[in-house]
Structure 1
Amino acid sequence: MNDSALPPRLTRLTFHGPLSEARAGRLVERLTRHEPATVLDIGCGWGELLLRVLAAAPAATGTGLDVNAGDLARGRENALRRGLDGRVEFAEESAAGTARGPAGLVLCVGSGHALLEEGATGDAAAVALRALRRLVSPGGRVLFGEGFWQRTPSEGELAALWPGATAADHHDLPGLVDAALDAGFRPEWIETANEDEWEEFESGYRADREVWLAAHPGHPSAAETRERLDRQRTSWLAGYRGLLGMAYLTLVPA
C-alpha cells in the first residue's frame, strides 16, 4: 500500500506532550543556565526539546534515545536543517538499564516508562526517578515530566481511562515531589501544564488523522482509525480531562 495514502503522523505537534512554546522557552533557559556539556534525552521522540537545548548551549553535545524509528528520523532531519547534526545522535534503542550516562542534563518528559525493565511492577515514577539519579552528573539537572492526579479519580472516571487504570497509576503532585526527594533530588522548579497546553496537545495529537479520515472514509484502515480516534477522544473528554495533570520538575541531584 502506498504510504502517502496513510494518515500522517503527528505533524501538527511541535512537542509530544502538553508543552507550550512559552513554557519550553523558559525551560530551555533554566536548563542551560549551568552550561551542561552533555545532554541525554530519554524517550526523546523527535527530540524537539533536545534540539532547542543544544541550540541554546553551543558547547554541548546530545543523545536522544527512543524505539520509534520514524520519530528518530524526523529528529535527524530537524537537526540537519538547523545545523545541529554534528552535535546530536538519535539512537534507536531502549533506555531501560542504559549505560549512556552520566550526563550534565537529562531530559525525561512523559517517558518515565522507558526506564522500566520489562515486567517491572510497583511505583513506576519512583523507579524512573532512581534511574535518572544514576544518569545525571554531580551538579547537573534533570527535567522530569510526569503525569499526576489533580484529584483522586472515582471508579467511574477510572473506567473511562486506559484499560486496567487504577488510582495507583499516578501520584498526586505532593507525592510525586516526595518521590523525587526520596530518589536523591532537590526540586529547583515545580510547574504544571495548564488547560490550554492540554487542549493544544490533545487536539494536535488527533488532528492529522481526523482530517485524513474525513477525506478517506472508504480506506481499508478507516474503520480501525475511526475506532482508535473515538476511543482516545472519549478517554480524554470523559476521563482524564481536568483529572490528569502534567508536572515539569527541574531537579538537582543532592
Structure 2
Amino acid sequence: MDLPRIYVIRESDHLIHNAFTEDKFATLGRAVRLQPGTTMLDLASGSGEMLCMWSRDHGISGTGVDISTHFVASAQERAAELGVADRVTFVHGDASGYVAATPVDVAACIGATWIGNGVTGTIDLLERSLRPGGLLLVGEPYWRMDPPDQATIEACHVSSKEDYYHLPGLVALFGELGWDLVEMVLANEDSWDRYVAAQWFTVRAWLDANPDDELAGQLREELTNRPLSYVRYLRPYLGWGVFALKRR
C-alpha cells in the first residue's frame, strides 16, 4: 500500500501538498483559535506540515495518517526539525478507514476528500473521530466559474462538472448535512502557483537526473503540456479552500 511513484516525484520537494502556503495555514490556525493542548487527527496528512506547524506555533498534539511511505518519512523528519516529535505522530496507512482510538478536538482532511468518496462521506468519516462539540476542517476545490467545456473539466482533474460544487453550493451542502460553517480560508492564484508551478521545477530537475527512467517519457510529456493547461484552465476556473465546521 503506497502512493504511486509518479505522484511522489512531482511533489517530492513540497512541504505542502495542496493549494495553501505556509502563510495560509498560519492564518487558518489563528482563525480557528487553536489552543495549547488541543488534540488533532489529520487524514491524508502528506508531509505533515500543517500538523507540525500548528504544534510548534499553538502547542497542539496529534496524529497524521497518509498512504505514502515517502511523505510519512518526510513528516517524521519535519517534526524532528521543528522540535515537535514528542507531540505529533505520523502513521503509514489507509486514511479512508482510519478512526482515532480516542476522540479528538479537531479532525481534518485537507484536500483529499476522495478518502470518503466525496465531501459527504469524508465528513461522516471525520466525525467518527471527533469529540462532541469538536471542529472539523475540510479542504476542497470548488468551481470559481462554470467550466465551458469538457477540456476545462478534465484539466481540473475530474471527469464531470458535478464532481465539484460552486462555492455557494458547497456552503449550502455543509448546512444540509447539519453543520455550521464557522470559518473559512480560501486559496488564491498565488497559492495555487506555489503548489502547481513548483511541481514543474521539481519534474525538470528529476528529468535531468533520470533521463532513462521508465517514467521519464510520461513526465516529459506532462512538463511540455501542463503549464499551458494550468494557466488556461485550472488557475482561472478552480478555487480551493479549507472550511471549519461545527455540528449543529
Shorter chain as normaliser: what TM range? 0.7 to 0.9
Partners of 1:181 and 1:236 lie apart in 2 by 32
Which one-letter code corresponds to 1:29 in the other structure? R
Unaligned runs of 5+ residues in structure 2 are 1-7
**Any idea what the Cα deviations from partners look like across 1:178-235, whole Å, max 9, x if unmatched?**
221222221111332111111121111221111332x348434432320233354344
Match of 2:206 among 198, 204, 212: 212
User: Which residue in the other structure is 1:167 paired with?
Assistant: 161
| Deviation, structure 1 residue 21 | 2.7
Other structure's SS at 2:95 match: coil
Which runs of 5 or more structure 1 residues have no equivalent in the other structure?
1-6, 117-123
Say yes or no: does 1:202 pair with 2:193.
Answer: no
Q: Secondary structure at the match of 1:85?
A: coil
2:143 is aligned to 149
What secondary structure, in the 3-state scheme, does the structure 1 residue paired with 2:227 have?
Answer: helix
Output the TM-score relative to the length of structure 1: 0.84
Q: Which residue of 2 aligns with 1:83?
A: 83
Q: Give the structure 2 partner of residue 121 of structure 1.
A: none
Matched letter for residue 129 of structure 2: L
1:249 equivalent to 2:243? Answer: yes
Q: Contact 1:160–1:239 (CA<8 Å) still a contact in 2? A: no
Q: How far off is 1:26 after superposition?
A: 1.2
Aligned to 1:119: none
In structure 1, the residue matched to 2:42 is 41
Q: Distance in 1 between matches of 2:158 and 2:69?
A: 28
Q: Does the C-alpha gap of structure 1 residues 36 and 155 become closer, same or farther in structure 2, counting only changes over 3 Å?
A: farther
**Structure 1 residue 177 corresponds to structure 2 residue 163:** no
CA shift for structure 1 position 8: 5.8
Cα distance in 2 for partners of 1:35, 1:181 equals 29
Amino acid aligned to 1:24: F
Equivalent pairs, count: 239
Paired with 1:231 and 1:139, the residues of 2 have a C-alpha distance of: 47
Segments of 4+ moved more than 6 angstroms: none
Cα distance between partner residues in 2 of 1:147 and 1:104: 24
Q: Give the letter for the 2:114 counterpart.
A: H
- Displacement of 1:129: 2.1
Relative to structure 1, the CA distance from residue 79 to residue 217 in structure 2 (aligned partners, 3 Å threshold; closer, same or farther) is: closer
Cα distance in 1 between the residues matched to 2:199 and 2:228: 14
Residues 111-166 of structure 1 show CA distances to partners (whole Å, capped at 9, x for unaligned) of 111234xxxxxxx2222223223332222222211000112212243465267611
Give the Cα–Cα distance (whole angstroms) in 2 for the partners of residues 31 and 12 of structure 1.
28
Superposition CA RMSD, Å:
2.4
In 2: Cα distance, 1:145 partner to 1:10 partner: 18
